[in-house]
Amino acid sequence: MSDDDPAAATALSLLTLGDYERAAATVLDPAALGYFAGGAADELSLHDNVLAWRRLAIRPRVLVGVGRRDPEVTVLGRARPHPLIVAPMAYQGLAHAEAEIGTARASAATGSIMCVPTFATVAHAAIAADAPAGTRWLQLYVFPDRGITRELIAEAVELGFEALVVTADLPVVGVRDRETRTEATVQSSTAELVRDESAAAPTPADLAGNVDPDLRWSDIEAFATEFPLPVIVKGVLTPEDALLAAEHGARGIVVSNHGGRQLDTALSAVDALDGVLDSVGDRLDVLVDGGVRRGTDVLKALALGARAVLVGRPVLWGLAVGGAAGAQRVLEILLDEFDRALALTGCPRAADLNRSFVTAAPWLAGRS
């Protein structure tokens, strides 16, 4: 690399998802950064999501032959090239002009499923048209007017989306102090469906305030029976609710505290996983998200029994720094780290990961 090659210099300095996070903070305006980076209230869950993965240590095996590795997993009965899914995140236009189209391209290029948010900046049809090869799921916020919800689902079916991810942990918006202070205003084609467009530009909280706080398990059952797409319930943290999801026709759940943005001090998904898996076993696919920042986190999630992992903010950091190419690079870094983790853990096939590969981190022994 010559000293005057800024592209190469940038590439060299952006080695990790943490590097992208720091770089994004320098290019995003304060309102966008506050919305993306913030959590609820004192942000204890936000921070614990990252720490929770570090409370687990890996028990690596050696001399098993890891020259050929296979990151393939099965999700909703279908083989996927690897366990990464891009989490649904609203208003990606705040990160970069390419918005969800950039994320769709990055997802398709890396074989990652993209969860398209209800409140995308760009219309769902435009996202699908631009990256036809990608696999997409629709994240659903359900409104009191079920007609709007049914329209969104019918369009998703037509666009070839493969699952509905119904968000269950936002009956009301969490106490978003950081977001309230920085005050982003947003655009979304879905906003036109739920609110009077002649009013002043809405904040994310204004639009989320249209979500139906009275959504119930019977609605999950109705979506599962009425539409041809498998239903995944996002935002489950207890064994009781995991069982109810299975009983009401869900094919999957995302164990998640919404990236620490909803109920502060809610437990991290990592700490909820064991109980959830004990209660539902193989009755539905258990996915997990929150704080995944390293390939070893992905490995630990699968070792605990999750089938796949949703990655949130890091994709936005990549998008902010470099549009589609930046988001793609973030996913590639994570995939490369995961590949090395499989080799170094002595478990070359992702599908063979199990509890024997993780243990409570000994460096925490004795701490309360």
Ligand X SMILES: Cc1cc2nc3c(=O)[nH]c(=O)nc-3n(C[C@H](O)[C@H](O)[C@H](O)COP(=O)(O)O)c2cc1C
In the complex with ligand X, the residue whose CB is nearer, 269 or 347, is: 269
In the complex with ligand X, the residue whose CB is nearer, 316 or 347, is: 316
Residue 176 as a binder of ligand X (CB under 6 A): the answer is: no
CA dihedral 62, 64, 68, 69 (to 10 degrees): -60
Q: By CB under 6 A, how many residues form the interface with ligand X?
A: 24
Question: Is 175 exposed, middle or buried, given 0-12, 13-18 or 19+ CB atoms closer than 10 A?
Answer: middle
Q: Which of 82, 96, 124, 258 is catalytic?
A: 258
What residues are paired with 139 via a beta bridge?
Answer: 165
Closest CA to 135 of 75, 225, 220: 75
CA distance 61 to 43: 36
Return the range that interacts with ligand X (CB under 6 A); candidates 54-62, 224-232, 257-265, 275-283.
257-265
Residue 137 as a binder of ligand X (CB under 6 A): the answer is: no
Return the range that interacts with ligand X (CB under 6 A); candidates 236-244, 283-291, 317-325, 347-355.
283-291
> Phi/psi at 124 (nearest 5 deg)?
-55, -40
In the complex with ligand X, the residue whose CB is nearer, 313 or 347, is: 313
In the complex with ligand X, the residue whose CB is nearer, 58 or 114, is: 114
In the complex with ligand X, the residue whose CB is nearer, 67 or 213, is: 213
Q: At its nearest, how many Å lie between ligand X and the CB of residue 278?
A: 23
Please list, in sequence order, all residues whose beta carbon lies within 8 angstroms of the beta carbon of residue 368, skipping any fewer than 6 positions away. none
With b meaning 16 or more CB within 10 Å and e meaning fewer, what string describes 265-275? ebbbbbebbeb
Binding-site string for ligand X from residue 198 to residue 237, where x marks contact by CB under 6 A and - marks none: ------------------------------------x---
Q: Which amino acid is at 367?
A: R
Residue 34 as a binder of ligand X (CB under 6 A): the answer is: no
Out of 34, 83, 102, 291, name the contact with ligand X by CB under 6 A: 291
Q: At its nearest, how many Å lie between ligand X and the CB of residue 197?
A: 20
Residue 294 as a binder of ligand X (CB under 6 A): the answer is: no
Residue 149 as a binder of ligand X (CB under 6 A): the answer is: no
Q: At its nearest, how many Å lie between ligand X and the CB of residue 315?
A: 8
CA distance 19 to 103: 19
Residue 284 as a binder of ligand X (CB under 6 A): the answer is: no
Out of 85, 106, 292, 302, name the contact with ligand X by CB under 6 A: 292
In the complex with ligand X, the residue whose CB is nearer, 5 or 42, is: 42
Given a contact cutoff of 8 angstroms between Cβ atoms, the answer to whether 296 and 337 are in contact is yes
Q: At its nearest, how many Å lie between ligand X and the CB of residue 89?
A: 4
CA distance 193 to 211: 12
What residues are paired with 16 via a beta bridge?
Answer: none
Catalytic (active site) residue 82:
no
Out of 24, 33, 34, 36, name the contact with ligand X by CB under 6 A: 36
Q: Where are the alpha helices (DSSP H) in the chain?
A: 6-13, 17-27, 30-37, 44-54, 99-110, 124-130, 146-158, 177-182, 191-194, 204-208, 217-226, 239-247, 269-280, 295-304, 313-345
Residue 289 as a binder of ligand X (CB under 6 A): the answer is: yes
Question: Is 164 exposed, middle or buried, given 0-12, 13-18 or 19+ CB atoms closer than 10 A?
Answer: buried
Q: At its nearest, how many Å lie between ligand X and the CB of residue 313?
A: 4
Provide the 3-class DSSP secondary structure of residue 52.
helix
Residue 337 as a binder of ligand X (CB under 6 A): the answer is: no
Out of 256, 268, 296, 345, name the contact with ligand X by CB under 6 A: 256
Question: Is 161 exposed, middle or buried, given 0-12, 13-18 or 19+ CB atoms closer than 10 A?
Answer: buried
CA distance 48 to 67: 35
Looking only at residues 39 through 58 of this chain, which bind ligand X when binding is defined by CB under 6 A?
49
Q: At its nearest, how many Å lie between ligand X and the CB of residue 169?
A: 8
Residue 90 as a binder of ligand X (CB under 6 A): the answer is: yes
Active-site amino acid positions:
258
The footprint of ligand X (CB under 6 A) covers 35-36, 49, 87-90, 117, 119, 139, 167, 234, 256, 258-259, 261, 289-292, 310-313
